[in-house]
Amino acid sequence: MSFIEETGIPVSPINQRPIPIGTIAEAEEMNLSPAVFSTCARPNAATGVLGCAWFDKCRVSAKGKDGPKNYGCHYFKGKAQGGARTTNVYDCMWIASHIHDIERNGGALRVVAEEGETIERVTGVSINNATGQVETNPYAVGTHRDDMRITEVVKPFPRPKDNPELIQAVLSAEVVAQEMERRSDESLAVATGNFHAIAPVDKREGRKPRK
């Protein structure tokens, strides 16, 4: 049993966002309540699941299973929008938000790569005037911008265990639980007149060691 489960202290999001953090199982594995954090699931007021705001518009196979996910896509614009084609990486929420308007305007969106696979696209890069090579130093002088064909790996959508903001939220909940336990112990010492049981401020332990 984790310390948060042991104390019953809830984990609250640092910034409340509608972006799903992962699946319900992934959230619960980190003791993150699906009633507080958005997950890849259908919103359900009866069960208290916050779910995903894009669920009903979602068209990817990961819907309600193992999302959110990123996809490499060919985006074909309709004639009214110039008819151009671009290739880029989009997450499933972007696809759900835009695919209706894309198709309504005569365009199309095709998934050509999943996470871990590669896409080829044209993008602007900085070229070193002297060497003709791609310059990775953003502060370099003697460069010019040019379009180049590159191969790009579709990176996985960050999972809860790799999300710095969620890790910080869990840590904050643990610190709060430890502080509440310390205050409870000190209140008991004061109530019983056992003032010697209150440790100096620089010697206070966050919590009692587990047995």
121-176 residue pLDDT tens: 998 889 999 998 888 887 889 999 999 898 999 999 999 989 888 877 777 766 76
Of 5-14, 95-104, 138-147, least confident by mean pLDDT is: 5-14
Closest CA to 119 of 85, 96, 68: 85
pLDDT at 130: 92
Contact between 3 and 170 under an 8 Å Cβ cutoff? The reply is: no
Look up residue 68 and give its two tokens: 């959110």
Average the pLDDT over 18-27 and give the result. Answer: 93
Contact between 144 and 127 under an 8 Å Cβ cutoff? The reply is: yes
Look up residue 47 and give its two tokens: 């069960």
Q: Which amino acid is at 55?
A: F
Closest CA to 205 of 171, 176, 181, 174: 181
Secondary structure of residue 105 in the 3-state scheme: coil
Neighbouring CB atoms inside 10 A of 189's CB total 15
Residue 185: burial class (beta carbons within 10 Å; 0-12, 13-18, 19+): middle
What pTM was estimated for this model as a whole? 0.72
Please determine, for residue 120, whether its predicted confidence score (pLDDT) is greater than 50.
yes
- 62-73 pLDDT per residue, tens: 999 999 999 999
Residue 150 parent element (H or E): strand 143-153
Please determine, for residue 2, whether its predicted confidence score (pLDDT) is greater than 80.
no
Contact between 67 and 41 under an 8 Å Cβ cutoff? The reply is: no
Contact between 142 and 97 under an 8 Å Cβ cutoff? The reply is: no
Secondary structure of residue 161 in the 3-state scheme: helix
N- to C-terminal Cα distance for the chain? 13
Average the pLDDT over 180-192 and give the result. Answer: 60
